[in-house]
Structure 1
Amino acid sequence: MLTIRALSSIPTPLLHLYTSSSSALSTRTLRRHPTAATMLNSATAAMITAASTSKGVTSSEHLAGNWYSVPDLRLRDHKFNVPLDYSVDFKSSQKITIFAREVVSVGKEERSMPYLLYLQGGPGFECPRPTEASGWISRACEEYRVILMDQRGTGLSTPLTPSSMSQLKSAENLVEYLKHFRADNIVRDAEFIRKRIVPDAAPWTVLGQSFGGFCAVTYLSFAPQGLKQVLLTGGIPPITGGTTADAVYRVCFEQVKIQNMKYYKRFPQDLQIVQELVNYLSESEGGGVLLPSGGTLTPWGLQLLGLSGLGSSTGFERLHYMFERVFDPVIVAGEKKQISYYFLNAFDKWLGFDSNPLYALMHEVIYCQGDSSRWAAHRIRSENNSEFDAIKAAKEGRPVLFTGEMVFPWMFDEINALKPFKDAAHLLSEKKDWPQLYDIDALKNNKVPVAAAVYYEDMYVNFKLVMETASQIGELRLWITNEFMHSGLRDGGGQVLNHLLAMLDGKKPLF
C-alpha cells in the first residue's frame, strides 16, 4: 500500500542538458572547433547547476511506501514521476516512473544517516532485489541509507520489455523514445530523486558498478554539486569525443582471446565437445537448430555464451557444466544424435534478452558522442574473423573462440525476443546526433573525492582504456587488483566496498 509523502515545499529540478534538437552546434562544428565542444559542455553543466524550480509541485511526483522487512534489513519503496525528456517543460512533458528502493539495517529507519545511491551495471538491467543483509549491501548499511534505483526502462521503472516496446508501432518511434535512455538522462533522474528524498537536498555518495560507473562519471561531468563522493567498481569509461566503440572492441577482442585460452586450459575436455557441437549446428538444415524460445541456435550464436561465461566469477564453471549435457544419449539403436533440450533451454536462459532487451538495443550507443556506432563490434570482429570463425576452427581442429560483451546485427534475426526490434537496432546503429556524455575539462578539475576498483584482467572494461581515462579525472584514487574479476563487488562480499571507503576516509595510505 503506497502512501503519499508531502513534498509541496521541495523544489522541482528541470535539468536541461544539451540535446541535438536544442543545440545550434553541429557535429561538424564540434569536430572542427574543439573549443566549441568545451563551451557546449560548460553550458551543459551550467544548465544543471541553474536547474529551475517549478511552482505548484504536486505530491503525485513522489509516492513513498511503508517500511517492510527481509532478514536483518528494512526496506521502503519509492516511485517518482519524471519527464521522459528533460528538455521539455515539466508540466507538458510525457512522464515515466522511476522506482527506487530505500534500504537500511533493522532499527535504523528513523536514524539520521548519509545517503548512498547505487547505480547498476548494464545498460538495461535493474538493481538487485535484497533477500537478506549480505554482501556489499550489508556493509553499506552499516553507515548509509542505501538507495537502489532501477535505471529508466528497467525493473519497475517503466520497464522496456518486448511486450511494452511493441506499443511503439514503428522503428522510428521506438528510436525516438530510446534516445532518452542513456547515462545523461539516468543522471537527471538521480538528481530529480536526490532533491526530493535527501534532507535539504544534500549531496550523496554514488556507487557505480560497470555501466553504473560510466553513469557516475557523467554525473561528475555535469552535476558534481549533487555528489559528496563517488565509488567506482569496474566502471571507468572511455571519454574521448565521437564514438569510442571501435576503440573499446578493438582492445576487448584481445582480452576475450586470452579468456578463451584460460577456459580451455581449465577444461580441456570441452575443446572437442564445442567443436563437435559447432559441426553439428553447421551441418543441420538451415545452419542451426530451433530453440525453445522460437529462435535459432547457430555456430555464431553459440559463441555468445562467452558474454557472461568468460568474464565473471564462476562463469567458467557454469559454462563447463552446460557442455556436460549438450547431447542426449542415444537410447534406441539407430536413432540420430541430437542436442538435448536441457542444453537448448539453458542457452535461452543464459542470454536473458527476453527479459532485458534494452541491453542489446542500447549497448553500443552508450559509447557514442556526436557520431554513430555503425555496428562497431561486428566490424571489428571482421578484422579478427580468421580467429573467430567458429565453423572453420571446428573443421580445422582449432579452439572455437567465444565472443565477449558484444552485440551483433544478426542477433536480431536469430534471437526471438529481439526480432521485432531489428529495424530499430539498425537505426540506432546509424544515429549520429548523440549528445556529449562527458566534460573532460570538468573531470580534470574535479574536486569530488573518487575511489575506483580497477580489475586488471577485466574482460568488459579494458585496463588500458581505464588508465587513459583515469589520468584525466581529478581527485581519483585507484585500487588496481587481479584478485577479482568484473563481478568483484558482488563476489567479494563487503570487501571491495570496504576497501574503497577506506581509501576515502583516511584508513588507507595515500601511496
Structure 2
Amino acid sequence: MTLRTSTAIRFGHTFREHRLRVPWDHHAPRETLEIFAREIIPAGGENLPTLLYLQGGPGFPSPRPVDPSGWLEAALEHHRVILLDQRGTGHSERIDADSPYLDAAHLRLLRADQIVADAETLREALGIRRWSLLGQSFGGFCITTYLSTHPESVEHAYLTGGLPSTDSHADDIYRATFSKLSTRHEKFYTEIPWAEDRIREICHHLNNSEELLATGERLSSRRFRTIGIELGRGTGFDTLAYLLEEPFREYRGEKRLRSDFLLDVGGRVSFAEAPLYAAIHETIYAGTTPGPTSWAAQSVSDAIPGFAYDLDPREAEPFYLTGEHIFPWQFEEDPALEPFRQVAEELAQAEDWTPLYDAEVLAEAGPVCAAAVYVDDIFVPLEHSLRTAERYRDLRPWITNEFQHDGIRQDGAAIFRRLYQMVREH
C-alpha cells in the first residue's frame, strides 16, 4: 500500500497529512478504502516519540485542532501526535446516506479490530517501531483491542473514560448505564429543582401538539428525552437548565414552543453530523458474549423505572430523560438516520460477531498503561471499568469524581499530564 503525504506549517508546528489505502477486511483483503491521518510535529520535535490519538464515538472523526491547547498541548510536550480518522469517518471514506458503503457487510467492518489493523498498517508505513496510544471513550475500547492483538507495537497507553467491559452482554452494560443515569438525574433534579416539572410539561405538550423541527419533521416527546445525554458532560446541568429556562411562548392564543428552543433541540437530537454513531453503536458491545445485541438499550429501558419511551409525563414516577442510548424508533423519526434503518436492524439481529478482546494477552503482555476512570460516568460504568483494569498486565487507574465522561474536554492538559506521569512511577 502506497503512503501519500503532504506537509504544511500551522501555528508554528509541522502538519503532515497521510493517506493510505488499506483492506476493507484485513482478514480477507480484497477491496480497499483510503484512511486519513494528520500528524502534528512540534517545532524541533522531529525525533520525538509518536502518540496515536483514538477518538471517542464510534462514528466520529479525529479532532481538527485550531490551536495547540488542551490535551494536545500537553501531548506535544513529549510527542509527535497522529490524529487518525477512523474508517467510515472524516476523510477515511465517511459513510452517510450518500455513501456506496451503506450496507451491513461494510458497517460490520467498522469495529475496533479493523480500526486497530488500520493503525498497524499506518504505523508500518510510517516506519515507526512502537508508538504510544491515547484513547477517549470508544478510543479506549480500541486500545483494549490493540493490546489484545498487537501489544508489542505499543510503548505506553493512556485511556480516558474508556475501559470497556470485556465479558458482559450489551444488556448488562445498559442496565449499568441506566442505573448511573438515574442517580445523575436525581442529582440534576436536586440542583435544578424546577427542571423536572419543565421536562414533564414539554413532553406532555409534545404528546398533544405538533411541533416541527427546522428539518421539517415532528418532534416527539421520546425523541426530545434523548437530550439527557448532556447529563453525562461536565457542564451538562447548566446547559440543560439554560435550554429549559423559557421554552414556551403564546402565539395567537396558543401555547407553542419557541423557535430558538426548537432549533437548539433539533441540533441535539439529530444525527446528521455522525449517523454512524447511532447505526453501529451497539456493535461495539457485540462479541463479548454469544448472541445478538437485539436493541439492548430499548429492551432494558422498558424494564427500568423512569425510562420507558411511552411513559405518561403527567403520572409516571419517576420520569427521566435518556442518555447515549440508541433506540430503533430513532431510525424512523430522524431524517439523518432513516437511510440506515434497514442496515441498523440487520446489525442488531446479527449473531456471528468475533470477540474483540483477549484476556490472556492483556494479562501477560503489553506496556504500562494509565487510565482516568470517572466515578459518575453514565457512558462507561465504573464497576465494569475497574474489573477490566484488573485484567491488564499493568494498568494504573486514576479513579476520580472531578470530571464527567468528557473530562478530556474540560481539562485535557491536566488529565494527560497526570496519566503521563503515572506510567513512569515505580
The bucket for the TM-score relative to the shorter chain is over 0.9
Report deviation, 1:391.
Answer: 6.3
Partner of 1:277: 202
Q: Which residue identity lines up with residue 66 of structure 1 in the other structure? A: T
**For structure 1, which segment, 119-128 or 338-347, has the greater mean C-alpha deviation from structure 2 after superposition?**
338-347
Match of 1:147 among 82, 95, 98: 82
For the aligned residue pairs, the C-alpha RMSD in angstroms reads: 1.7
Partner of 1:82: 22
1:257 aligns with 2:182: yes
1:291 aligns with 2:213: yes
Alignment of 1:199-218 (within 5 A): 199=127, 201-218=128-145
% identity of equivalent residues: 37
| Moved >6 Å (runs of 4+) | none
Corresponding residue SS for 2:4:
strand
User: 1:178/1:66 Cα in 2 relative to 1: closer, same or farther (>3 Å)?
Assistant: same
Report deviation, 1:393.
Answer: 5.1
Match of 1:312 among 233, 242, 254: 233
**Is the CA contact (8 Å cut-off) linking 2:104 and 2:346 kept in structure 1?**
yes
Q: Could you report, residue by residue, the CA deviation over 1:389-419 in whole angstroms, capped at 9, with x for unpaired residues?
A: 4764521275531111210011111111111
**Is the CA contact (8 Å cut-off) linking 2:302 and 2:309 kept in structure 1?**
no
Q: Which residue identity lines up with residue 208 of structure 1 in the other structure? A: G
Q: Which residue identity lines up with residue 207 of structure 1 in the other structure? A: L
Corresponding residue SS for 1:129:
coil
Supply the distance in 2 between the matched residues of 1:275 and 1:141 (Cα, whole angstroms). 47
Corresponding residue SS for 1:77:
strand
Supply the distance in 1 between the matched residues of 2:197 and 2:259 (Cα, whole angstroms). 20
Corresponding residue SS for 1:453:
strand
Corresponding residue SS for 1:494:
helix
**Which structure's relative contact order is higher, taking Cα pairs within 8 Å and 6+ residues apart?**
2
| Structure 2 segments unaligned to the other structure (5+ residues) | none
Supply the distance in 2 between the matched residues of 1:436 and 1:397 (Cα, whole angstroms). 40
Supply the distance in 2 between the matched residues of 1:448 and 1:84 (Cα, whole angstroms). 28
Report deviation, 1:260.
Answer: 0.9
Question: What TM-score do you get using the length of structure 1 for normalisation?
Answer: 0.80
1:239 aligns with 2:158: no
Supply the distance in 2 between the matched residues of 1:352 and 1:225 (Cα, whole angstroms). 41
Supply the distance in 1 between the matched residues of 2:174 and 2:125 (Cα, whole angstroms). 39
**Is the CA contact (8 Å cut-off) linking 1:249 and 1:380 kept in structure 2?**
yes
Report deviation, 1:86.
Answer: 1.2
Question: What TM-score do you get using the length of structure 2 for normalisation?
Answer: 0.95
User: 1:296/1:73 Cα in 2 relative to 1: closer, same or farther (>3 Å)?
Assistant: farther
Report deviation, 1:382.
Answer: 1.2
Supply the distance in 1 between the matched residues of 2:95 and 2:309 (Cα, whole angstroms). 33
Partner of 2:372: 453
1:368 aligns with 2:303: no
**Is the CA contact (8 Å cut-off) linking 1:217 and 1:236 kept in structure 2?**
yes
Match of 2:267 among 349, 360, 384: 349
Alignment of 1:380-399 (within 5 A): 380-384=300-304, 386-389=305-308, 392=311, 394-396=313-315, 398=317
1:482 aligns with 2:397: no
User: 1:209/1:433 Cα in 2 relative to 1: closer, same or farther (>3 Å)?
Assistant: same
1:230 aligns with 2:162: no
Partner of 1:324: 245
Between Structure 1 and Structure 2, whose CA radius of gyration is higher? Answer: 1
Q: Which residue identity lines up with residue 470 of structure 1 in the other structure? A: A
Supply the distance in 2 between the matched residues of 1:505 and 1:468 (Cα, whole angstroms). 23
Match of 1:102 among 27, 39, 48: 39
Report deviation, 1:316.
Answer: 1.6
**Is the CA contact (8 Å cut-off) linking 2:20 and 2:36 kept in structure 1?**
yes
Q: Which residue identity lines up with residue 83 of structure 1 in the other structure? A: P
Corresponding residue SS for 1:179:
helix
1:158 aligns with 2:93: yes
**Is the CA contact (8 Å cut-off) linking 2:306 and 2:317 kept in structure 1?**
no
Aligned length: 424
Q: Could you report, residue by residue, the CA deviation over 1:472-503 in whole angstroms, capped at 9, with x for unpaired residues?
A: 11111111111111111221141000000101
Match of 1:501 among 399, 420, 425: 420
